[in-house]
Each structure stands twice: as C-alpha cells, then as structure tokens.
Amino acid sequence: MSIQVYGIPNCGTCKKAFKWLEDNGVEYEFINTKEDPPTRETIQNWVESLGSQPMRNTSGQSYRALGESKKTWTDAQWIEAFAQDAMLLKRPLVVKDGKAVLVGFRDKEEAMKAKLGL
C-alpha cells in the first residue's frame, strides 16, 4: 500500500492527519504542495475521484480572491484554478495507490480507516 499526503507543513489540519496516521501505524509520503505543486493531470484524476467541490479550500485567501464567478465554475475551470494555485486545494489530500481517497480531515475515524483500507 502506497499513501501520499499532499498539503503544507505548517497547516494545522495536516499536522492532525500526520499524527493520526503515525498513531495508526500508517506509513506515508508527505508532498508539500507549495514546493512541489501537483500537475494538471494529477489534479484532474483527483477531481474524477472526489469531485471538485470537496477539494476547494473555501477558508483560504486564494479562494476569497476568486470573486463571485467561482460559484458557477465547471470542474474543468476548477482543475485549471487548482493547477494555477495549489493553495486552492483543501488540505490534506490523501492518495492511496494512486487514487485520491480523502480530502480534509473531518471524517469519523471509522470512515477514514475504511477509505484508507485499514
């Protein structure tokens, strides 16, 4: 099993996810999206798995700066926006065996374990 966690190191929600993964004995690779932003193709695969709406970091400055038109954007427009500014992506985004399975870190523990196959 291969797990990657995409996010930024100083994100409080990412830190919670790291601790939870470590407490549950899950090995993972951390990818800092500020230093190593995901490709458009990678983001498109994530949107196909999760949909663009759950992937939106609606509490960030980048999101607020987009203006009102963002409310009517298509998935294709969101993919382009995510590719231009990785800070628009909700964190953390967890990929298991190449497929996005979890975004954010608010699910109940049982749901997270199920999504990660634990």
CA dihedral in degrees (51, 54, 60, 65; nearest 10)?
A: 40
Q: Which helix (H) or strand (E) holds 115?
A: helix 109-116
Our answer to whether residue 14 is catalytic in this structure is no
User: Quick one: DSSP state of residue 88?
Assistant: G
The catalytic position among 4, 6, 8, 11 is: 11
Greatest alpha-carbon pair distance for the chain in Å reads 43
* Peptide bond before residue 92 is cis, with ω within 30 degrees of 0: yes
Nearest by Cα to 36 from 4, 67, 68, 78: 4
Q: Which residues are catalytic?
A: 11
